[in-house]
Amino acid sequence: MAFGDALDNLRSWTDALSDRERRLLGAMAVVFAALVVLLPTYIGISSISDVETENEEIALVLRDIQRSEPRLRQQKAERKAIETLYNRKAPSLGGFLEERAQQYGVGGLGITDQPKLDMGGYSRRSVRVSLPVVELRPLIEMLADIENSSYPVSIERIQMTGGRMRTGYTVKLAVNAYDRVGPEPGE
């Protein structure tokens, strides 16, 4: 009953409007209906589009990760090999170098120990080596054997003089060995 009275009041109010006012009221009703229908639709489509864009970006990142997986495995294997290398303590550098020199027929080593240096979780032992006249082939083979040994040893510097008219080269080397001081990774 109250609803019917309200509807009758609305009808009498619209009958009292002029044609121009009725057209404006109709246009306003169409705009209101369009807002009620189109605005939620637009918001829904926009959010779906944003989600699709985000999904495409995530898929691109996942593809990049998948493509870099072999490289990451290789880096992990290299880190593991380095960790394994440092798990093995290098021998006394003087004896190690003399053994290598004798193996390749290089004689007359002059070895001078250098002070030990602590570097974070590692310590570096160094020696300076002087070789009087030595032939090139045995020298290169000895240096390759030192560098490729299963110990954390590296050749820091090589200084060679001589050659041409002489029977060999005079060589000075700086060789380093590295030892892990702290606990091993994973402990």
Burial of 134 (0-12, 13-18, 19+ CB in 10 A): buried
Q: Which two tokens stand for residue 95?
A: 């004896």
Q: What per-residue string of b and e applies to 27-39 under the rule 16 or more CB within 10 Å gives b?
A: eeeeeeeeeeeee
**Strands 110-113 and 117-119: what pairing?**
unpaired
Question: Would you list the DSSP string of the chain?
Answer: -HHHHHHHHHHHHHHTS-HHHHHHHHHHHHHHHHHHHHHHHHHHHHHHHHHHHHHHHHHHHHHHHHHTHHHHHHHHHHHHHHHHHHHSPP--HHHHHHHHHHHTT----EEEE---EEETTEEEEEEEEEEEEE-HHHHHHHHHHHHTSSSSEEEEEEEEEE-TTSSSEEEEEEEEEEEE-SPPTT-
Considering the segment(s) 90-180 as one domain, its CATH architecture is 2-Layer Sandwich (3.30)
| Those residues with Cβ within 8 angstroms of residue 55's Cβ, 6 or more apart along the chain or in another chain | none
- Give the pLDDT score at 165: 60
Q: What is the structure's pLDDT at 182? A: 65
The one-digit pLDDT tens for each residue of the chain (187 residues) are 677 788 788 788 888 888 888 888 889 989 999 889 888 988 989 899 999 999 999 999 999 988 999 998 999 999 888 787 777 788 888 888 898 888 988 888 888 888 888 877 788 889 999 988 888 888 899 999 988 888 888 898 999 888 666 677 889 999 998 888 765 555 4
With tokens 């798990």, the residue in question is: 87
pLDDT at 93 (0 to 100): 87
Q: Are 177 and 147 in contact (CB under 8 A)?
A: no
Chain region(s) in the chain for CATH 3.30.70.60: 90-180
pTM: 0.55
The confidence score (pLDDT) of residue 166 equals: 65
Give the Cα separation of 178 and 166 in Å (integer).
36
Q: What is the predicted pLDDT for the residue at 174? A: 92
